[in-house]
Structure 1
Amino acid sequence: MVPLCQVAAGLLLGTAQAARDPERLAREGVTLCINVSRQQPFPGLQRARRLRVPVFDDPAEDLYRYFDRCGDAIEDAVTSGGTCLVYCKNGRSRSAAICTAYLMRHRKLTLGEAFAAVKAARPVADPNAGFWAQLQRYEDDLRTRQQSAEQKT
């Protein structure tokens, strides 16, 4: 059986092959599927929301612009009692980066802490060099946002 890796409560990371098993996804309580690919299909899951992030696993792709939107969608699913599956072809680079960004923003983890959590759940997780650089930029941007918010209070 292809693994679905639990990164955090309500957050699963997997492969496109794992996403092809709608009965299993229903058993896992998946209510949101984030497909981080241009070509991979969505599972035939009736009641799950769908969000496509149309990027290739290419360091030149702009994954950064999807970090906030995906993170907010995951957080909405989790806080409403659902489960989100984030997947790409191999569950290694694109989807791992999205999960890492979510943990940074919504769980207030550093990049190192967030990626360690993703890597613990899915040991093959390895965002490409471009996505890693975008995660580093995101960490800096989140820190700046936090400082701005603190100055306003």
Structure 2
Amino acid sequence: MRRDPRTNSTTDRTSCPITPSLFLSGADAPLNRALMTHKGITLIVNATLSLSCPTYPGVECVRVAVPDLPTARLSEHFDRVAARIHNNQAGGTLVHCAAGMSRSPALVMAYLMKYKGVTLCQAHHWVRQRRPFIRLNAGFWDQLLDYEKRLYGKNTTERKMQCSLEVREERNMKY
């Protein structure tokens, strides 16, 4: 990992496979055209405010312009992004944010709950097993809890992240 001068965040050059056709990364992976071709990526979900979407032939980019702040309403994009991932039959999907630690993992967990039928704890474990350094901010965790309740009629965990060792408790910290 290295510090990205554009975002002042730590990024990882690798994309982590979540399913055979779904990948999670920081900001560097979508800039690697050879990697995108090798993984068969035909859809990029860009969950950053200002990083541009690369333009590659046959690759569509969906923008989710939400800051990585606990007060940001990422949940407004859960259904739309999950449906786009699910309906991308043409190839692989890469979901990324600046560091691949908070926004993009939250979007991937929403997809896993909606289309793979798993609980929030199961989705969190699934993603964390494949990308161990994820750290959702507390606001996104709360939004995922609300989404789980909407999908399944109940929550399978508490408001505090109990299916993980880590959560950002800082409610107003900028990332």
TM-score, with structure 1 as normaliser = 0.90
- Residue equivalent to 2:122: 113
Distance 1:88 1:40 in 2: 9
The alpha-carbon deviation at position 8 of structure 1 amounts to 1.2
| 1:61 and 2:72 aligned | yes
The alpha-carbon deviation at position 44 of structure 1 amounts to 3.1
The alpha-carbon deviation at position 48 of structure 1 amounts to 0.8
- Residue equivalent to 1:147: none
- 1:93-137: per-residue Cα shift (whole Å, max 9, x none)? 000000000000000000000010110111111110000000000
| Structure 1 runs not aligned, ≥5 long | 145-153
Percent identity between the aligned chains? 35
Distance 2:58 2:90 in 1: 14
Which of structure 1's runs of 4+ aligned residues deviate more than 2 A?
A: none
**Is the 1:21–1:43 Cα contact (8 Å) retained in structure 2?**
no
- 1:48-105: per-residue Cα shift (whole Å, max 9, x none)? 111000001000000001000000000011xx25110000000000000000000000
Distance 1:53 1:61 in 2: 11
* Higher RCO (CA 8 Å, separation ≥ 6 residues): 1
The CA RMSD measured in Å over matched residues stands at 1.4
Distance 1:41 1:127 in 2: 23
TM-score, with structure 2 as normaliser = 0.79
1:9 to 20, 40, 43: 20
- Residue equivalent to 1:148: none
**Is the 1:20–1:44 Cα contact (8 Å) retained in structure 2?**
no
| Structure 2 runs not aligned, ≥5 long | 1-11, 154-175
Distance 1:9 1:140 in 2: 27
- Residue equivalent to 1:94: 103
| 1:129 and 2:138 aligned | yes
More helix by share: 1
2:91 to 68, 82, 90: 82
